[in-house]
Structure 1
Amino acid sequence: MKRHLIASVVVGIFALSVGEAQAATITIDSFDDGTQTLSATTRNSTVFDAVTGSASEILGGERDIQLTIVENRFGSNLNAEVDALPPSSEPGILAISNDTGVSSKTLITWDGEDENGLNIDLTAGGINKFFRFDVLSVDLGAVLTLSVMDNNGTATLTKNLSPTFESISVIFKFNAFDNATAIDFSNVNSISLEITGEEKLDFSADSLVATVPEPLTILGSGLALVFGGLLKREYDKKQTISQHKG
């Protein structure tokens, strides 16, 4: 009987957690819409481009990219590219490529069309707890700085990336941002991501979302509560029987 009960609870918690994760996830950018290509050559030069797209793929319906060359020792070209029209069998990606002797800073901003603001609840009613940035590869060191702005100010969180050619998920927890307690994540006006790379960096990423803990994490927490309750009831039952015998 207990085994059937536990199995039912496990299935129920897992189904609930998966459904909750799918319902709460908010796409900041899938990079599947809005083709952009930026190129610059001169040190300290900055180029800017904005593109509109589906609000389900680009939060607020517009993506702004600003590309700045930090160092250019040989006058080489630098490209920051958002590829939104890949082969049909593959998703869109964000791709940044630094030529030899070149280091760059790429700033991507989501603040609604014509900077009208997002006014969005990133927590989805208190469910979402962090951003997840899915990186496909980074051949040299890179620094990611994610910023969130509301009506009161800005909160930021920086992550350092080591080289990897395997897909990784970079997690930015809401409560880990500096100034996090002063920012209302349920009423965000704009989000920006700055990517700073070393010379000759090649970097690619798939998507940025606001989401909940992974279903297995929720499952683990749920099971801990369930088994804790079952063990307590079993203990109380034994204590009662022991008292009656005494």
Structure 2
Amino acid sequence: MKRHLFASVIIGGTLALSAGEAKAATITIDSFDDGFQHISAASSTTFNSTIYSANPIVRGKRDIRLTILENPSPSSLNAEVAVLGSPTEPEILTISNDTSVKSETLITWHGEDENGLSLDVTGGGINKLFRFNVLSADLEAILTLSVMDNDGTASLTRTLSPSFNPTSVVFKFNEFDNVAAIDLTQVDAISLAIRGEENFDLTAESIVATVPEPLTLLGSAIALGLGTVLKKEYDKKQTKSQPKR
């Protein structure tokens, strides 16, 4: 009984610490809760910028650029991007393309008056990745996240597979190209490019810089805790099995 209790204390304590670290380190780049935007395009490129002083947008500014890549009928078909932050609408990012329309959405965060974010995305060395929280996507899409400082840009591309269930697209810091040449503690701008197939639709609720998921940390904690207990049990059995001198 005591052995099981000991293992539970180790696992529970490690999980509590991990969850606390995750909560303390997470930096919200954008929760899409505020800063209402709605842009539409049938051809070429449409640009829209919003400034909002509260926390849902890092440093208070979000730029959205919508570019039409393919549209067989610009007179009747289009693509739309919206951030719905009003009380009557869900607080999410939405991207929608009419039939046969293909587009790219580029969202950029670089602070008010383009002064730069001056942001430590590592949260003091704790955060290890960006996570884009997707609610739904009906077709495959290519997502490219870029991080910029005064010395250059580091980028990472991920493929989003179709899913009608919430999913997370993870961009690990150590997998960005050129990441060694930039300073993640002094990030000036962050951008996310989303390019889907024809008729692609997406909804998303946030993008954050954070630590690995608590469940991943829990798995490590379980392995560590049980490993320690089992080793002690093994050592005891070995000691008992040795002949007395």
| Equivalent position SS for 2:136 | strand
Does residue 79 of the first structure (1) align with residue 80 of the second (2)?
Answer: yes
Unaligned runs of 5+ in 2: none
Give, in whole Å, the separation in 1 of the partners of 2:49 and 2:208: 20
Does residue 161 of the first structure (1) align with residue 157 of the second (2)?
Answer: no
Match of 1:131 in 2: 130
Match of 1:205 in 2: 204
Give, in whole Å, the separation in 1 of the partners of 2:175 and 2:87: 35
**TM-score after normalising by structure 1:** 0.90
Deviates most, 12-21 or 178-187:
178-187
CA positional deviation for 1:66? 0.8
When residues 236 and 120 of structure 1 are mapped into structure 2, their CA distance, relative to the original with a 3 A threshold, is same
CA positional deviation for 1:234? 3.9
Give, in whole Å, the separation in 2 of the partners of 1:54 and 1:231: 53
Alpha carbon RMSD of aligned pairs, Å? 1.9
CA positional deviation for 1:222? 2.2
Match of 1:224 in 2: 223
CA positional deviation for 1:206? 1.0
Does residue 35 of the first structure (1) align with residue 21 of the second (2)?
Answer: no
CA positional deviation for 1:243? 5.7
CA positional deviation for 1:55? 4.2
Give, in whole Å, the separation in 2 of the partners of 1:162 and 1:230: 41
| Equivalent position SS for 1:124 | coil
CA positional deviation for 1:190? 0.8
Match of 2:66 in 1: 67
Give, in whole Å, the separation in 1 of the partners of 2:152 and 2:238: 56
CA positional deviation for 1:22? 1.0
Match of 1:119 in 2: 118
CA positional deviation for 1:240? 5.0
Does residue 172 of the first structure (1) align with residue 171 of the second (2)?
Answer: yes
| Equivalent position SS for 1:122 | coil
Q: Report the number of matched residues.
A: 242
Answer yes or no: is the 8 Å Cα contact 1:144–1:194 preserved in 2. Answer: yes
Q: Deviations over 1:13-48 (max 9, x none)?
A: 121111111111111111001000111222xx1111
Answer yes or no: is the 8 Å Cα contact 2:39–2:81 preserved in 1. Answer: yes
Match of 1:100 in 2: 99
| Equivalent position SS for 1:245 | coil
Match of 1:11 in 2: 12
**TM-score after normalising by structure 2:** 0.91
Give, in whole Å, the separation in 2 of the partners of 1:99 and 1:161: 19
Give, in whole Å, the separation in 2 of the partners of 1:241 and 1:141: 60
